Amino acid sequence: MLEIQNITICYKDRPTVKNFSMTLHRAEIASLVGESGSGKTTVIRAVLGLLAGGGKVTAGDILFEGKSLLKNTPDQWRKLRGTDVSMIFQDSGAMLNPTRKIGDVFVEYIRTHESISKSDAWKRGIAMLERMRLPSGDNIMHSYPFQLSGGMRQRVGIAMAMTFQPKLLLADEPTSALDVTTQAQIVRQMMELRDEYGTGIIIVTHNLGVAAYMSDLIVVMKNGEICDSGNRDDILSGNHSGYTQKLLEAVPSLGGVRYV
């Protein structure tokens, strides 16, 4: 479904990400792990065509369902983003407009991608919120982001991102801002969505424990390059570099349980 072929990404002249390749199939979950500044966000933003600061893919290619995303026109991007490919951020509260109610934002989002009535969009929003096990969806739709907890806001972000049953979901540290119990719940819900919709997920995480628990594939980055990549069991069973070993030794527990 997604094939990243040996890409180089530059912000100015110096390459920030080099020789990065990975393949993701339908319903697979891949984790992108590595220390701060290693280039994880840069990679997923490149997949979504949303590199900030004048960033560019200067070599290689990114294929989605066999077609190069790098050739997309702005119009093609608008149609793809939020439908076939969508993204959730570290803190969905920051993405949601603080001065607007969840329901207004959700309804507008649905209606930019599909021509349905406001009341149908509202119902669809509530159904998605309930799908993420948010109680009383109608109340949430009438709330401002600050009235919800961090975990609730993150569920709202995931509910929105899943509305159009994306083939590919990109998640940049979706659970890092949350306590471990909520982290564990959200990780489980993302896995359920994968099972139900067949969504392929790339999740950026500092937490190799999260990666180990939820992913089929693990890609470890260091200084803009891949330092280990492969299927989870292979990486965890010791087929990895000294750097990954160090990350493994530093794994905290998830919901009170250690997964590695």
Ligand X SMILES: Nc1ncnc2c1ncn2[C@@H]1O[C@H](COP(=O)(O)OP(=O)(O)OP(=O)(O)O)[C@@H](O)[C@H]1O
Give the residue with the Cβ less far from ligand X, 51 or 132. Answer: 51
Give the residue with the Cβ less far from ligand X, 51 or 126. Answer: 51
Q: Which residues bind ligand X (CB under 6 A)?
A: 11, 16, 34, 36-42, 52-53
3: β partners: 23, 63
CB of 38 to Mg ion, least distance (A): 9
CB of 102 to ligand X, least distance (A): 26
Both tokens assigned to 87: 């993204």
- Measure the CA–CA gap between 89 and 95, rounded to whole angstroms: 8
- Measure the CA–CA gap between 163 and 167, rounded to whole angstroms: 11
Q: Which residues bind Mg ion (CB under 5 A)?
A: 41
Give the residue with the Cβ less far from ligand X, 36 or 73. Answer: 36
Please choose which of Mg ion, ligand X, none residue 222 contacts, taking the beta carbon within 5 to 8 angstroms, the exact cut-off set by kind: none
Q: What is the DSSP letter of 135?
A: S
Give the residue with the Cβ less far from Mg ion, 4 or 121. Answer: 4
204: β partners: 32, 172
Cα 197 to the chain's mean position, in Å?
15
Q: Give the chain's radius of gyration (CA, Å).
A: 18
Burial of 123 (C-beta count, 10 Å sphere; 0-12/13-18/19+):
middle
CB of 204 to Mg ion, least distance (A): 6
CB of 35 to ligand X, least distance (A): 7
CB of 147 to Mg ion, least distance (A): 28
Please choose which of Mg ion, ligand X, none residue 115 contacts, taking the beta carbon within 5 to 8 angstroms, the exact cut-off set by kind: none
CB of 226 to ligand X, least distance (A): 12
Place of tokens 């109680």: 135
Please choose which of ligand X, Mg ion, none residue 53 contacts, taking the beta carbon within 5 to 8 angstroms, the exact cut-off set by kind: ligand X
Give the residue with the Cβ less far from ligand X, 151 or 224. Answer: 224
Please choose which of ligand X, Mg ion, none residue 52 contacts, taking the beta carbon within 5 to 8 angstroms, the exact cut-off set by kind: ligand X
Please choose which of ligand X, Mg ion, none residue 11 contacts, taking the beta carbon within 5 to 8 angstroms, the exact cut-off set by kind: ligand X
Give the residue with the Cβ less far from ligand X, 52 or 71. Answer: 52
Please choose which of Mg ion, ligand X, none residue 232 contacts, taking the beta carbon within 5 to 8 angstroms, the exact cut-off set by kind: none
- Measure the CA–CA gap between 79 and 102, rounded to whole angstroms: 22
Give the residue with the Cβ less far from ligand X, 90 or 189. Answer: 90
The CB-based long-range contact list for 60-64 (8 Å cut-off, 24+ gap) reads 60/4, 60/5, 60/6, 60/7, 60/8, 60/20, 60/21, 61/3, 61/5, 61/6, 61/7, 62/2, 62/3, 62/4, 62/5, 62/7, 63/2, 63/3, 63/4, 63/5, 64/1, 64/2, 64/168
CB of 119 to ligand X, least distance (A): 40
- Measure the CA–CA gap between 203 and 214, rounded to whole angstroms: 9
